[in-house]
Structure 1
Amino acid sequence: GYDIMNYRKINPEYGDMDLCDTLIDEIHRRKMKIVLDLVLNHTSIEHEWFKESRSSKDNPKRDWYIWKKGRKPTKERPGGKKPPNNWQAMITGSGWHYDPTTHEYYWAQFLPFQPDLNYRNPEVRKEMLDTVKFWCQKKADGFRLDIINALYEDKEFRDNPFCWKLIPSDDDEARLFRDPIHTLNHPDTIEFMKQLRSTIDGFKDKERFFVGEVSGSIDTLKKYLGEDADGLNLVFLFQSLTTPFKAKKIKKIIQLFEDNFPDPYLPTWVFGNHDRSRRMSRLGNNILKAKLSAALQLTVRGVPFIYYGEEIGMEDGFTPANNSRDALVHYFGWIPQFIHNLVYKFTKETLNRDYCRTPMQWNSQEHAGFTTYPRAWLPIPRTYRKINVETQLEDEDSILNCYRRFLKVRKVTPALNSGSLRLPHIPELSKKVLAYERIIKKGDKEQIVLVLLNFSNQGLRMPNPSPNLEFLVSTSVNNKPIAGSRIILNPWECVVLEEK
């Protein structure tokens, strides 16, 4: 989980280090890469470091975490009945938690059993950089950095200022009328990204990368990459996850990403993850839209991050809040189920992250082929008998085979996997159609690939902008889009054409 008890050991539920080494070797033998999820911000309260830290104020590990006296001491709470300041956790409520052993508060940016490490302590910084080195020596190819924007806090413990914002968004972390300038995206956190980058770049056996889970404005996110591209290699741009599925809106965000992440920077395209509702459910379980979404993600300039199950169109599952395995749901246990249902119905957002964490659906057998145990760890959507890998491999027109077609073309087409992007002007182009070109120099010539996406439930005809276009791939299996001077697009179809 995300409350780490030891950064350099394997949870016995999953095996041991020898098994981990074998897994990494077998992955590499198959010419694949392994990216580890690394939680640098906090540990578990069960970590030996924290056990020592909370044991006494004089313990050598005391300063490995963030401790502070509270305000307004009482007989029952000599350390203060009020927290040290107004800092709120990312999940709302005070991030300060009173510990009766030493009568001080410790800081936790997320859940109470996940205390934050103190990065102002050089011993902590060294230990965590050594942890990165440890896994590089184990031949890890990259790292996803969990809530990496929360490493440093204001060293003077100043209150976060008031602001007129109630609910946070992917562009702005302000919430509950507080702007978390002293607890999120701190300048010292951003500066530390360069130390992380130099750590992995110090290994010359192969290239590695970091991708950071960061939230904030585009200007803030870009800072994590460094002014000289010497910070993180990538950051998740969650703006792509919530952008309305319309040609005009998608075009706008493409332009936003292109303006802010020119070469050598790269944008990321994220349509789902382990915290948010599945893409298929957001698209109303529309298979054609899901294929179009995949085509967009695999042809636009940037790094596509595909959440498991998206490639077969897995939908959100359902687990009642009182049966949830998600600690966040139980933290908000006072919220009745009907409120969860209403919020999900109208926003496709939910506190219950079990919805998007159901087991991978491999086949139509019991538990979708995920396990032979009597019960899967989460209930599997009943649609798994039709929505599974085995079934879709046999269907030429399935979502899975659509992904496979586009990935194959992307792999062998330099303009798609490495080229720049241009938004061309095409006369008589429908407002429902998004068009962009991917371009790369090939010696003295240019390879130009035209991508057309029909964000409409109706078939469309458009002028053929060039007589030299050749068909590469489509979300439709049987469509022949080039018809002389016209190009024919089926409802919710993407076609990719190359200028010859």
Structure 2
Amino acid sequence: MSDTWWKAAVIYQIYPSSFKDTNGDGWGDLPGIISKVDYLKNLGVDILWISPIYKSPQADMGYDIADYKLIDPIYGTNEDIDVLVAELKKRDMKLMMDLVVNHTSNEHAWFVDSISSKSSPKRSWYIWKDPAGSDSNGDPLPPNNWCQLLGDANSAWTYDPESKQFYLSLFTPEQPDLNWETPEVRAAVHDAMRFWLDKGVCGYRMDVINLISKDQRFPDAPVTNDGGKAKYHPGSKWYTNGPRMHEFLREVKREVLAPYKAVTVGEMPGVSDPDEVLKTVHQGDGELSMIFIFDVVDVDFVPGEGRLALRPFKTGDWVKDVVKWQRVMWERDGWNSVFIENHDNPRSVSRYCDDSDEWREKGAKLLALMQTTLSGTIFVYQGEEIGVRNMPKYWDGVLDKKARDHARTPMHWDGSPHGGFCGKDVKPWMRVMDDYVTFNVDVQTNSNSDDDLSIWQYWQRGLSNRKAHADAFVHGEFQSVDNAEGDDVFAYLKVGKESGTWVIVLNFSGDEVQWRMPSNVKVQGWVAGNYLKGKPDKPTEGTIGLRPFEGLLGRSAA
């Protein structure tokens, strides 16, 4: 198998608590995932990526790890992982684990030891600092003014009254940051990674991996929150892509990743500079296989105002980011990840299209057509393949549009109670969407319409077509077509060495659009669309009428 086989792989993200419950506790588990391996194989999946399933007190849904070598009993056992790897291997599939090593749980044995005494051998495994002084009440002040990433009204530092020092906890007090400056910490992380690779795991998604190196001066952050009136402020300038990050990642690659030929995808929020990104994902000397670039999924973020601030956006606002990274990676020998959904973001059909009953299916297929024809390694998030949408209005204001819970509702397997996620007499850990009776896997995989494909069948066909013409859709050059900023029509060419040139035209408008084909683009014929199963009956030159959320795939005559 080629060392770069993973480039054409389809990676499917499973949010384990919401995938499939088999033991009746209302919480998804590993046996549930094992029971659906054939379903995923049939869809076209090659790699399963499972969000964290290690032992954890679940203060942050498993992103607070208490033991890197032990599966949490709520999900199953280490033996279940062995079974899953074996079942995947039978089907020529692989498993990718989630790796969270910027921080641990405060219940991890390392931290329990670290906090026990200032003289503990593991004190230096975490970031401990003396107070900056005392306030007017005599209470100790944090070492600097950094705010938490998950609550900017709070300090990023947590005080330990026993030792009279603070420890850094960028996310929550239950998630103390590891000190990567300590060689023993890095060696322990390498050891944990080898443990699962030795069990047959193919690689890792690496959580907030660009936060592992902090500026050791730990200076105050610029005063920006609440017009400068807040006590604490974003210090990301001092810990995002820190001074030793690339050194640490090169060490991980040398000591662990390269010997195992492991596949990696790094979560690196707040990074959009091509020069910086290429240091990590350059296919010649980069440290990781690829990273998640969040420009598209962050299109509605307001810089400096946190994840729940909302900025209105148009199609052209995020299309320009797609164009940018498709071109950058092609021209500079990098590698893209293709995704628009994950466990931290609202559902894509609700965000980029129209999730109403009238247009939901067309929008979901439009997004599938786009993703299955863009260069890079594609990631499909659970439920995306059946067009799961956001929950109906549940909160007030911005939260209703941007809450992470939209992506975490239980999977709809069939029309039985709770969508088949758990038994009818079991209460699921989170509400199941009300439309599970009609929008579920069973309905969509068994659809037998002569005229149209279900969303699932459309994804299946698109993923198959992507693999059949990987030279164009996975590896091919991306050429933009008439993509003026603000346009609702996103059109581009994909050029392959063997399969030739393909034309993709996507109308992200809820209106009918008369779109004129540029004179330098020649279409031999349209081979697929998202309105009918068969070939679209559309002109191949001049003005083309596009219906709301209509997408077309054609062969170029050139």
TM-score by length of 2: 0.75
Deviations 1:9-60 (A, max 9, x none): 1112222222211111111211222111110111111111111111111111
- Pick one of 386, 391, 401 that aligns with 2:443: 391
Preserved CA contact (<8 Å) 2:409 2:431: yes
Counterpart-to-counterpart distance in 1, 2:392 and 2:538? 43
Counterpart-to-counterpart distance in 2, 1:431 and 1:398? 28
Residue in 1 that maps onto 2:407: 356
Preserved CA contact (<8 Å) 1:41 1:147: yes
User: Quick one: structure 1 residues 166 and 392, their matched pair in 2 at CA, closer, same or farther if it must change by over 3 Å?
Assistant: farther
**Greater shift in the superposed pair: 124-133 or 280-289:** 280-289
How far is 1:221 from its partner? 3.9
Aligned residues: 461
Other structure's SS at 1:418 match? coil
Counterpart-to-counterpart distance in 1, 2:493 and 2:155? 48
Residue in 1 that maps onto 2:292: 236
Preserved CA contact (<8 Å) 1:319 1:355: no
For the pair 1:5 / 2:66, whether they are aligned, the reply is yes
Residue in 2 that maps onto 1:267: 336
Residue in 2 that maps onto 1:448: 501
User: Quick one: structure 1 residues 319 and 137, their matched pair in 2 at CA, closer, same or farther if it must change by over 3 Å?
Assistant: farther
Counterpart-to-counterpart distance in 1, 2:147 and 2:522? 60
For the pair 1:215 / 2:269, whether they are aligned, the reply is yes
Preserved CA contact (<8 Å) 1:298 1:407: yes
Alignment of 1:72-471 (within 5 A): 72=133, 81-91=140-150, 92=152, 93-162=154-223, 178-203=234-259, 207-219=261-273, 220-225=276-281, 228-243=284-299, 248-262=316-330, 263-282=332-351, 283-285=353-355, 286-287=359-360, 288-317=362-391, 340-345=395-400, 348-350=401-403, 353-372=404-423, 374-395=426-447, 396-413=452-469, 414-424=471-481, 432-442=488-498, 447-456=500-509, 457-458=511-512, 460=514, 462-463=516-517, 469-471=524-526
Considering only aligned residues, what root-mean-square deviation do their CA atoms show, in Å? 3.0
Preserved CA contact (<8 Å) 1:136 1:200: no
User: Quick one: structure 1 residues 137 and 307, their matched pair in 2 at CA, closer, same or farther if it must change by over 3 Å?
Assistant: same
Preserved CA contact (<8 Å) 2:221 2:233: no
Deviations 1:98-124 (A, max 9, x none): 112222111111011011111111000
User: Quick one: structure 1 residues 48 and 355, their matched pair in 2 at CA, closer, same or farther if it must change by over 3 Å?
Assistant: same
Counterpart-to-counterpart distance in 2, 1:439 and 1:165? 48
Deviations 1:128-187 (A, max 9, x none): 0121222211111121111112212122222233458979xxxxxxx9754522222212
- Pick one of 103, 119, 141 that aligns with 1:58: 119
Preserved CA contact (<8 Å) 2:270 2:294: no
Q: Aligned letter for 1:493?
A: E
Preserved CA contact (<8 Å) 1:44 1:115: yes
Residue in 1 that maps onto 2:529: 474
Preserved CA contact (<8 Å) 2:221 2:234: yes
Deviations 1:265-292 (A, max 9, x none): 1222332211121113323313222211
Structure 2: gaps of 5 or more residues? 1-61, 301-312
Q: Aligned letter for 1:364?
A: G
Q: Aligned letter for 1:300?
A: L
Structure 1: gaps of 5 or more residues? 168-174, 321-339
Other structure's SS at 1:358 match? coil
Preserved CA contact (<8 Å) 2:476 2:495: yes
TM-score by length of 1: 0.84
Counterpart-to-counterpart distance in 1, 2:252 and 2:545? 49
Of all paired residues, the percent bearing the same amino acid is: 32
Other structure's SS at 1:304 match? strand
Q: Aligned letter for 1:393?
A: T
Q: Aligned letter for 1:141?
A: C
